[in-house]
Structure 1
């Protein structure tokens, strides 16, 4: 059986001999003939065989590894050509340098495939143009396919290479005609040529530009939402092409200034909006609005008002320093009217009035949501930096991670018109803010940043933390921006022959991955709970009041029963209740009342859970009030607002009369209050608390007794008359004196 499989592999390699040779010769030239990395710093492969542009016969004719499937052997042979290391040497290093925990029989093939793939991707990602390389897209997708079926025991894949698309028809820009439609076109691809979630999550984050370990699962869901959550090569290639366009667009707008305003050092332009006349950005300050151009960098927002054919000087809204910034969605409209939900509000201590940036569009508010998300990502990244007191290379790595997240979000949005939900965002710091226990993700990220050192050279070719147990990690996101040419090479100073150590390691799940998985596990429960909340929301004030009244029926009924007993309409029941209550107070049992309520509710819940196990909860039935037209609903709302206003006025009057008593506006009334307060202080100091509580309860409960009712009403009347005679303290409304707004 093993000979048959080896024969199949040899036949497959003979059929594709030319493509393998061309791939290897290209990679060899890149590794040995060119310097990669930042500022002429090479990426070493540690002991790779051969020099110059020629490869050794052992690399040109790699021997298949018996434990691997044909596709996995194909991937390993390509990795061998990229690294200029024979497959036997790679296997020897894997067997001797990595711990026994990753060389178990059941996981040997997969871990060895990861071992080879991670090294090769570390070398390939050292080139600044690897996103535009078709061979890179094919190789990485084949890595994912082989990860799902790495061993000979795995199910055999089709003989047709899933990513070899030499017969595709491409347009002038190099885009396949298959990509002109949405991702639904990819559903027609064979199911066997798709990639699952775990394979994507293990391979894609090795290249920091392609995926982030925090958001990789959300990225996979975004790419596979229309294909039953299986990733097709057409979709994957379209995403990489779109990401390449975004990176090149970011390089194209690199400039030392925006309009007449100089950019700060290390400031990168992430996106610009408002340059198209049909899609302006409106800045609202007070009741004035003005069109212009909005620019986001990794430190601030810039807005340039549009003058007569030219842009005015850019106004800077800082996102980096701590100025109590608030960024949130808001309603805007002409002359300050709150009509359209298409704006982002920015507020900080550096400006007197909040600023609103409106993104007009005919349908929906996708532009606003996109800008809100990317602005919050930069703001939260800086807050994370300040909270953990990060400096130098650590601070730059955090900002680089946020920048790459924005690039990926732009790529998916522009390629597939994808708009993320609350828990499905592609921005790492926004996701950590919204996920349950997302603070643990940020804590784990902070602990990993402590180990980060730009000058830490990992001379081990494995790119794995096992061989020499390195205590430093590489700033992979910052290095990626450096390789793309978005930052200067002096930002990073890697030693010669340094290997980039990514967030993923061979055969293990690191602490950051574990924190993300634990947090994501609670998302399903949160989304399900939120779905039930959305279902039970009803419209209309009357309907909501009816629902609330029905839900609070037990409490309302209990209060009504107490009022009935206190009214003494049934003297026998009232007397029995009074005697029992007094006995409980005297015996000191009143302190057990609240614990008894808690125990009763807990017992009721246990009883319900035991007898209603497996049964769905029956819907709560409410009889809604009669339907009202919009005018009647507005009148009801106005009446409710009037009642609330009256209650607030009554509360203010009570507070003002108390103020008058405190400042002795009416001396006679103040003297009486002083005497009453002194008497109450003496009672509280001398009389036990239970007797005071008993006295208050008996006095309140027996007011409606036939023997006391007349005297109680008489004393209540005298008290009201006394309260009416107390004047209210004066109030003076002073208008704030503000600076006059300058006319534009």
Structure 2
């Protein structure tokens, strides 16, 4: 009996410690790696005591990708990093970022890395580790032999996503990372789960493959070849979703094509398409792109069109996107057309040339690819497309011009950072958008695709530091929140169905309206005591005034009589 009790207690302890999790099907995804680290002869030397177990696991994966031991990664960080980011309070997080950025810079060079589930899992686990990087982050997890006790329903927050995802320009960037996170977590209470993140990256991979296929096709090849234009979107090829062009009084169905320099419309005839009309977005032609109303015989009934005007056209063009309900297609096309227009305005206004111009164009193209991926997985929910495209967002945000100015300055101040990045294996910065899109197999313009050779610093994130761009974005968003609060105050006095200005005027006249109601109440003797007091007071005032008036007149008469 004592032996049975002892055996039962031993089994209960094993289950409690997690030794039978493999049998119960309830093992953490990190248990196997921790056990492998325990069995490794170099377990003690490769374990970083300042890091939490999950951070040690991520650093070990980075070590494998880079082909260098953890001790060498640590030596590299200690030699490259400044003293301010090696302080004990921030050492764990900054060393983790250093390892992540180095591993990501190498991993993203692999063709089709977004299709690799291991890469998707790695980036997500980097976010998990970033939220709990230090050994003190989880008190129960201390030492290389501890098991990670994590819930199956893992999730990450906005700060971790913005930091790690923005280090891979395909996934996000500093300016719109929070908006992407908000869309992806709309149904999960502000925490990003791996299943949603995995779908997002899968959608990105499909969008990239579609862009590559379309750009390599013969579609408009003669018109695209002089500038090496890439096809970003095509619409009007499905009969249930036609595209109509209105020029003057004529209307034609056809095919609409957006590239990184212009959009084209090919009118559909009986069996083929007419020669494409080109509507330029790259040169400074005083273009105007805005939503427009259309209808039969020139009436303005349906809000489903995009208006385009430039000094090169004798009359404006209107592109309509018919659909039974809403104007989602129009809003999507309006946003992506404006994104290309705005990035070229940015390039022209700041006179950005060469590889820096290609870098800016890469950011806009990657933004449209991200939007396509998000649209695919969030098709049931309405999207604010302009909030997910960085140049659209900068056009709307208070202080958006400051963000663009900072972005332009960053593209010119590169020489100081080039030396640290050009060092083999340097990892103090994230990868640039141009290098990212070059790794995907695309090239913009005729300039060199090697951003390091051209003196272009890597991406927008620096290990352990807040860059000027991040500060500009934060300041602009804070200003936007103030504007939104002020607008909410105005909206608070709105009366449904009445214009805002009239509602504000009504609020200003509120005291006089209340005074009128009070006088009416007194006049109708709703409260007799108040009415009586009111009458008494006013009778006294009137009588005293009359007495004063007559006494004054009488005094004047007496004085004049004596005279």
Which residue, out of 74, 97, 109, partners 1:126?
109
Tell me, yes or no, if the aligned pair for 2:289 and 2:334 is still in contact at 8 Å. Answer: yes
2:442 is aligned with 1:486: yes
Which residue, out of 106, 110, 114, partners 2:89?
106
Q: What residue number does 1:503 align with?
A: 460
- Scaled by the length of structure 2, what TM-score is found? 0.77
Distance in 2, Cα, partners of 1:351 & 1:363 = 32
Of stretches 283-292 and 239-248 in structure 1, the one that deviates more from structure 2 is: 283-292
Of stretches 229-238 and 527-536 in structure 1, the one that deviates more from structure 2 is: 527-536
Cα distance, 1:353 vs structure 2: 1.5
Q: Kindly report which structure 2 residues correspond to 1:30-49, keeping only aligned pairs within 5 A, or say none.
A: none
Distance in 2, Cα, partners of 1:452 & 1:329 = 39
Which residue, out of 90, 111, 127, partners 1:144?
127
RMSD after superposition? 3.6
Cα distance change, pair 546–452 in 1 and its aligned pair in 2 (3 A): closer
Distance in 2, Cα, partners of 1:548 & 1:12 = 58
SS state at 1:390 partner: coil
Give CA-to-partner distance per residue, 1:66-101, whole Å, 9 cap, x none: 111111110000000111111011112222331111
Which residue, out of 421, 438, 457, partners 2:384?
421
Cα distance change, pair 227–546 in 1 and its aligned pair in 2 (3 A): closer
Q: What residue number does 1:217 align with?
A: 178
Distance in 1, Cα, partners of 2:366 & 2:515 = 50
Cα distance change, pair 326–77 in 1 and its aligned pair in 2 (3 A): same
SS state at 2:358 partner: helix
Q: What residue number does 1:65 align with?
A: 48
Q: What residue number does 1:446 align with?
A: 408
SS state at 1:436 partner: coil
Flag structure 1 segments of 5+ consecutive residues without an equivalent: 22-56, 163-188, 466-472, 558-618, 624-744
Q: What residue number does 1:461 align with?
A: 425
Which residue, out of 244, 247, 271, partners 2:208?
247
Greater CA radius of gyration, 1 or 2?
Answer: 1
SS state at 2:135 partner: coil
Tell me, yes or no, if the aligned pair for 1:58 and 1:86 is still in contact at 8 Å. Answer: no
Cα distance, 1:396 vs structure 2: 1.1
Distance in 2, Cα, partners of 1:464 & 1:109 = 15
Cα distance change, pair 161–141 in 1 and its aligned pair in 2 (3 A): farther
Cα distance change, pair 18–550 in 1 and its aligned pair in 2 (3 A): closer
Cα distance, 1:463 vs structure 2: 2.1
Give CA-to-partner distance per residue, 1:259-281, whole Å, 9 cap, x none: 58521322111101111110001
Q: Kindly report which structure 2 residues correspond to 1:511-550, keeping only aligned pairs within 5 A, or say none.
A: 511-534=468-491, 536-538=493-495, 547=503, 550=506
Q: Kindly report which structure 2 residues correspond to 1:646-661, keeping only aligned pairs within 5 A, or say none.
A: none
Tell me, yes or no, if the aligned pair for 1:60 and 1:81 is still in contact at 8 Å. Answer: no
SS state at 1:107 partner: helix
SS state at 1:406 partner: helix
Distance in 2, Cα, partners of 1:237 & 1:620 = 60
Which residue, out of 252, 273, 281, partners 1:319?
281
Q: What residue number does 2:32 align with?
A: 16
Cα distance, 1:414 vs structure 2: 1.3
Flag structure 2 segments of 5+ consecutive residues without an equivalent: 1-16, 20-26, 518-563
Of stretches 412-421 and 328-337 in structure 1, the one that deviates more from structure 2 is: 412-421
Distance in 2, Cα, partners of 1:342 & 1:620 = 46
Which residue, out of 355, 378, 385, partners 1:393?
355
Q: What residue number does 1:237 align with?
A: 198
Give CA-to-partner distance per residue, 1:506-552, whole Å, 9 cap, x none: 111110011101111122232233344455555768x7896576467
Cα distance change, pair 535–315 in 1 and its aligned pair in 2 (3 A): farther
